[in-house]
Amino acid sequence: MEILVTGNIKWLEEEFFTVLAEQNKVIVCGKDAERIREKHISPYQFSIEQKEFEKLFFTYHFQYVIYFSQCLEKDAFQEIEYLHAIFELCQRRQGTKLVYIRNQEVISASYGETQQIIESACTQMCEQHIRQGSTLVDIRIPFLAAADKPEGLPADIMKALLYDQKISLPFAAEQTVDFLFESDLVALLNAMMEEDETGYLQYELYGGNQMQLGQVIFELEKAMGISDADVTYGTLCMQPQKQTDQFRYHYGWYPKENVKNAFTDWYIKYQSQTQKQSRRKTLRNIKMDKKWKERMLYIVECVLLFALCEFLTYDTRDMQLLDFADFRLFFVTIVGMMYGLRFGVAASVAACVMYFASSGNQTNWQIQFYNIVNWLPVAVYMLVGSIAGYTRDRYQDKLANADKSQQVLETKYIYLNELYTKALENKESYSSQIMNYKNSYGRIYAAVRQLNSVHPSEIFYHAIAVLEDMMDTQSVAIYSLDGGRYARLNACSRDQMNRLTKSLYLDDMPQCASTLETGETWVNREHIEGAPMYAYGIMKNGSLVGIIALQEVAYEQMSMEYMNRFNIISGLISDSLIRATNYQEIAEKDRMLSGTRILRTEAFQKEVEAQRLLKENNRADFVLLRVVMQETDYGKISDALLHVTRKNDILGLGEDGKVYILLSQADRNNLEAIENRMKKNGVEVEIAEKY
């Protein structure tokens, strides 16, 4: 079973997912999902509004989506959007059931009026989607017994006690509160999913650890060694109901953890979590200090380089060979290329200041300021510093962007690789299911159930379709024998309509005929011309009364498994045909006019409809003739037609009172010969265009 756990999952420990994944494939999606690294668990760091989250529903086939409400904590303004998105995805993937876990009403009321409005809107949304056919399990839970989490009643109280702060609680000291452990919650979820219920189920879950809020404060003070805490209590809200046994009776579940033994463990976990947070804060401070130290080092290096360049400029002022060398320009270029735009501009400004300072000692500053030639070095310093710094920053930005792009690509690669792996698993699973389903006897039985009819013509039609599907061939034919050596074609595949003869003489294929008459299945391993590749004899009272044949099969279908499947399907078809003919014989008095072979109008109409269905699907052909005789005695008409019709031809009475002949597997090409044969025996007929 594939299960998606999403929403406000930061409350949950890894043990919760580990237990859930013991018998299921668990996909975790949400913030902090990457911290979960367990077998059979796939974490994804996606938010519900992202497109990648939607793709998960089309990559996996989730039987259940467990959504932990954002309202488990305060300020859950995105709860309505998230819940609506999950409902829509569950409805699009039919068969996905939603388990919605949120706070009890007494807890939501303590979070303020805004939270209550959000909860009310979510409840209305649930009812609306239930009317549209969704399956929802709405579970309201008490306080989660998670003291090591950043928020929650135990953590808030211990934080205030630890730092000697004033504790302000929304409930009265006499308020009964309840605590639920994650181990108990996951056990209940496993039990619920095993039941696989449908519809709208609402549960008010209790953790079996009800106690007054004042007692909780006392137990925490005792565990922490603190007394006389400054506590301000609120008003008394509605009291939760007592624990019922509905979960024990229905799911065999009851809470096992006891909160009275957990207060000391809570404090130890909280201290451990606080120390971890303190270490993380210290590491952040160290990183900040390291960054400032690096910047100070850059400044010191720039100052030293600036001093060196100024010393060289001053020391070489009288050397004519070095008049072309500008050490300030060298300083600006080095600083810009090494430390970026800000340091490059600062170096340019420093170089300009020193240039004006050194030039001012030699000439009047007014002359220097208004002489345009003196501004060229300043422009060069600023230009070089800016370009060098910008070039360095752009290069660093490219490296940073390349690193980020690499991280994004790695994340996408991991995600796509998991999707690809899952797609391959689905392909193999579906292929296995298709193959197992195609060859399973259960499917064979389900397919042949449609052969449950009392009309042989209907059975012929469905039998051809079943054989074509199950045997993977388009060369099926069904024959019937009337006691002689000729087998009359009743129905066949479309591809065989113009290839098979309407009658089959058994003596033309003696080996096949002798095998079928002994009750065995014929397999044409020697490829005898004119004989089918597979044939099954329909036996009644020890005599061969019909043949089910596969005219052509592929080379790989000449196997024992294929023959066994053919035997099973043909045996079921044979049973259906024998049962139908027995019924026809028993009901002959009710179906036929007394003393004749002429079917009554209703029975004859059903036979015509069955033959018409065969003809429309190119399974068989027929011709309907109307008898034109002055004789009105149906008994004499029946006797006259007895000598000019075949055993598989059907006589029937039409709604107009006329007698009709249904000639199976006949067409208009040989209609003239049929009419001439009947005229010789004193029977005149005409083709019935409509019936």
Residue 239: predicted pLDDT: 60
A 10 A CB-CB count for 451 gives 21
pLDDT beyond 90 at 535: yes
Task: Judge if 49 and 194 occupy the same domain.
Answer: yes
Question: Is the Cβ–Cβ distance between 584 and 462 less than 8 Å?
Answer: no
Among 367, 386, 409, the domain-final residue is 409
Q: How confident is the model over 609-637, as a mean pLDDT?
A: 81
- Helix axis angle, 263-315 to 153-162, nearest 10°: 70
Instruction: State the burial class of residue 376 (Cβ atoms within 10 Å of its Cβ: 0-12, 13-18, 19+).
Output: exposed
87 and 13 co-located in one domain: yes
* Rounded distance between C-alpha atoms, residue 543 and residue 548, angstroms: 15
Instruction: Work out the average pLDDT over 368-373.
Output: 67
Alpha-carbon gap, residue 14 to 38, rounded angstroms: 8
- Residue 478: what pLDDT? 92
Tell me what pLDDT residue 534 has: 94
> Encoding tokens for residue 224?
């922490």
Question: φ, ψ for residue 363 (rounded to 5)?
Answer: -130, 165
Has residue 334 been placed in a domain? yes
Q: What is the DSSP letter of 259?
A: G
Taking Cα atoms as reference points, which of 301, 288, 410, 316 lies closest to residue 346?
Answer: 301
Residue 439 in 3-state DSSP?
A: helix
Same domain as 569, residue 553: yes
Q: How does residue 499 score in pLDDT terms, banded at 50, 70 and 90? A: confident
pLDDT > 70 in the chain, percent: 81
Which is nearest to 464 in space by CA: 456, 455, 474, 454? 474
Burial letters 101-128, b for 16+ CB under 10 A, else e:
bbbbbbbbbbbeeebeebbeebeeebee
538-559 pLDDT per residue, tens: 998 888 999 999 999 888 788 8
Q: Please tell me whether residues 564 and 605 are part of one structural domain.
A: no
Quick check: 188 pLDDT over 50? yes
Q: Let me know if residue 297 belongs to a domain.
A: yes
Residue 48 φ then ψ, to 5°: -65, -30
**Residue 659 pLDDT grade (very low, low, confident, very high; cuts 50, 70, 90):** confident
CATH code at position 625 = 3.30.70.270
660 contact partners, CB below 8 Å, separation of at least 6: 604, 624, 625, 626, 627, 651, 652, 653, 654, 688, 691
* Strand ranges inside 482-597, DSSP E: 486-492, 503-505, 522-523, 534-540, 543-550
Looking at the fold, whether 620 and 546 belong to one and the same domain comes out as no
Query: For residue range 143-177, what is the model confidence (pLDDT) as tens digits?
Result: 777 644 545 566 666 666 666 667 677 677 777 77
> For residue 267, is it within any domain?
no
Pairing of strands 143-144, 167-168: unpaired
Lowest mean pLDDT among 135-149, 161-175, 192-206, 251-265: 161-175
pLDDT at 80: 86
One domain, residues 448 and 570: yes
Instruction: Tell me the pairing of strands 97-103 and 136-141.
Output: parallel
Where do the H-state alpha helices sit in 316-374?
A: 327-339, 341-360, 365-370
Residue 167 lies in a domain: no
CA atoms within 13 A on the CB side of 186: 19
Q: What is the pLDDT of residues 260-294, one digit of tens each?
A: 666 666 666 666 666 555 555 555 555 566 677 77
pLDDT at position 156 is 65
Q: Where are the beta strands (DSSP E) in 430-531?
A: 476-481, 486-492, 503-505, 522-523
Tell me whether residue 127 is in a domain: yes
Q: Are residues 537 and 577 in the same domain?
A: yes
In a domain, 425, yes or no: no
pLDDT over 90 (residue 255): no
Instruction: Name the residue with higher pLDDT: 174 or 304.
Output: 304
Query: CA-CA distance, 250 to 537, in Å (whole number)?
Result: 55
Looking at residue 90, which CATH number applies to its domain? 3.40.50.720
Same domain for 44 and 187: yes
**Arithmetic mean of pLDDT over the chain:** 79
CATH of the domain at 534: 3.30.450.40
Closest CA to 664 of 503, 498, 450: 503
Residue 20 — φ and ψ, nearest 5°? Answer: -65, -30
The one-letter code for the residue type at 281 is K
**pLDDT computed for residue 439 by the predictor:** 53
Cβ(550)–Cβ(573) below 8 Å: no
Where does 507-647 show beta strands of DSSP type E?
522-523, 534-540, 543-550, 598-599, 622-627
Nearest in space to 125 (alpha carbons), one of 74, 75, 91: 91
Of the residues 389, 409, 429, which one is the last residue of a structural domain? 409
Residue-wise pLDDT for 4-60, tens only, equals 988 888 778 888 888 888 888 888 888 777 777 776 788 888 888 888 888 888 778
User: Does 236 reside within a domain?
Assistant: no
- Could you tell me if 124 and 159 are in contact, meaning their C-beta atoms sit under 8 angstroms apart? no
The larger pLDDT score, comparing residue 348 to residue 668, is at 348
- Rounded CA-CA distance 106/117 in Å is 14
Distance between the two ends of the chain, CA-based, in angstroms?
Answer: 57
H-helix or E-strand spanning residue 7: strand 2-7
Q: Name the domain count of the chain.
A: 4
| pLDDT band at residue 523 under the 50/70/90 scheme | very high
Per-residue confidence (pLDDT) for residue 150, from 0 to 100 = 45
Distance (Å, whole) CA 534 – CA 477:
11
CA distance readout (Å), 350 to 332, 368, 385, 555, 658: 9, 18, 11, 92, 122
Question: What is the predicted pLDDT for the residue at 147?
Answer: 47
Instruction: Report pLDDT digits (tens) over 439-472.
Output: 556 666 666 677 777 778 888 888 888 888 888 8
- In this structure, the answer to whether residues 72 and 104 fall within a common structural domain is yes
**Which of 586, 614, 643 is at the close of a domain?**
586
Compute the average pLDDT of residues 399-416: 82
In eight-state DSSP terms, residue 143 is E
Residue 647 lies in domain: 592-687
What are the φ/ψ torsions at residue 677 (nearest 5 degrees)? -65, -40
Query: Each residue of 349-361: pLDDT tens digit?
Result: 888 888 877 765 5
Check whether 522 has a pLDDT greater than 70.
Answer: yes
* β-bridge partners, 231: 167
pLDDT at 202: 84
573 and 635 fall within a common domain:
no
CA angle 507, 510, 515 (to 5 degrees): 130
In a domain, 232, yes or no: no
**For residue 88, pLDDT beyond 80:** yes
Q: Are residues 111 and 44 in the same domain?
A: yes
Is pTM beyond 0.85 here? no
Give yes or no: residues 456 and 604 share one domain.
no
Place of tokens 């953590």: 155
